[in-house]
Structure 1
Amino acid sequence: MDTQTELATHFDNSRKHLRAVAFRMLGSADEAEDAVQDAWLRASHSGIEGVSNVTAWLTTIVARICLDMLRSRRRRSEEFTDIAELDSIIAHEDSDPAEEAVRADSVGLALLVVLNTLGPAERVAYVLHDLFSVPFDEIAEILQRNTAAAKKLASRARHRVLGTDAVPSGDVASQRRVVDAFLAASRAGDLTGLLAVLHPEVVRRADLPALASHGRTEIRGARDVARETLSNTVRAYLARPILVNGGVGVVVAPNGLLRLVLALTIEEDRITAVDVIGDPTRLRELRLSLVEPLPVS
């Protein structure tokens, strides 16, 4: 077997792994596929002569490409927060919301959202080491840093991803149960279920007119808040629990792109306040972290 044929075989066998690495780094299936294709072009040009671990070598190539793409994206200051078009974006998905929700769960929608808050070097270090067990000396070479610096970047990213609870873990678990019930009732169109988790005097505030019901940036009372919630059932399919500034809240992120955050105030197993945050500046200021174990790669 000639070296080019051998490389093609190795690449085909590694494609799923390479795509998984690229997707978690970039958060976009299309960009991940582009990165993998670019990796093939670079690898085929270089050849595998002298390469002892082809999969590791290909992973390094993909990681370098993704790092460049992340840095380029940051220079362009890309934003994915066009709230006014949220429902139309969801409506034009190829599949229905329930199917999209299943795909999101398979890769960890909340994880993608939190990864998008990291800087390029932090994201690469964290994804490669914590999600794919790449040694720090190899990560350091990709980042053009020393090993100690690579470890520090991954540690800083890990702290951001896993967060530090602002409330005791027992309270987080209790809040999670309330949020799960809220989302389940929202998806099922269950008015009775919503009324069971909303405080009778709950208040819903929205920071953008586009998020408000009939222009009302504030709504009071469980029945009115529940009715508005049921008018957004499609969004509920793409909503996931997440830690918002240490407390359990909700993120709405079609395809992992942050659109809305619901910061919830929960007292005695009832939601007493819902703050709907869609303003890009406010979204950037939130401390978002995971509220559940990392998904298995």
Structure 2
Amino acid sequence: MRIAYVSVDPGIPVFGTKGASVHVQEVVRDLLARGHEVEVFATRIGSDVPVDLADLAVHHVRVAKTDDAAARERAQAEASASIAAKVTAWEPDLVYERYSLFSTVLADVVAATAAVGVLEVNAPLVEEQARHRDLVDADAAWAALARQVAAASATVCVSDLVRDWVRAHTTAGRVHTVPNGVSTTRIRPAAEAAGDPVVTFVGTLKPWHGVDVLVDALARARAPWRLRVIGDGPQCEALTEQARALGVEVDFRGAVAPAEIPDHLAGSAIGVAPYPATAAETDQYFSPLKIYEYLAAGLPVVASRVGQV
């Protein structure tokens, strides 16, 4: 089967180190392993290309950069139209699209060809964009979502909360919950390191991941343990300063290529996901890839009791 994997989100590089990029790669790997012909159509490529995907055909359509929110939204819609034309010309049997704002690639290709479509929804992006960034043309964003869901043979959502959000804002489509997962051949259990137990966090260093709580807990600990942080992000400098001010040593590993995650997890005793509480339960809609990576590594997991975690 010829499968076009589509991602119009300029914030997600195909070959990156954050969880969304890892998920893109794992889906593509699984499709290739099943014998399908896969080509990727995306607005951001990235440079951390794993060896096993070095020969993957990737079609790059850039989104014009601008500080004007309205112009940025139009640029995303234009990139969607360009990708739809390229995918249509390739004549796939199936379009698998990671949902992004203002994209109607799946709907456009299904309307123009005999292809079927699968839409993957990872977050309530319209409301997320309106709350945390800038959303100018909300009507166009909602209309794009409705078109995509109506055209898809199946819409798969990472959690029940995301599924319910899609159902609440669309009137047609077959919408299901399929949580995230990881490759158990890429990540395998490893022996725990000798000495004080190693507590490990994997992820982007942003406020809603709660890594500051781990640093504080290390400073308050009555029994010795070590903290390992795998990842980078906007909170890295603040977390480093927090550790210095509290007089504790944290093993900050920085951003790590997906292929190197198993080596960095090795020796850990516990995997952690300390998500802070939020005012609304609907904010905890995610299906954290890190938890599945910890489980694949054979680690016990300590996580906040939020959402579906």
TM-score bin, normalised by smaller chain: under 0.3
**What TM-score do the two structures reach when normalised by structure 1?**
0.26
| Structure of higher CA gyration radius | 1
Give the structure with the larger helix fraction: 1
Per chain length, whose mean CA-contact separation is higher, i.e. which structure has more relative contact order (CA < 8 Å, sep 6+)?
1
TM-score (norm 2): 0.25
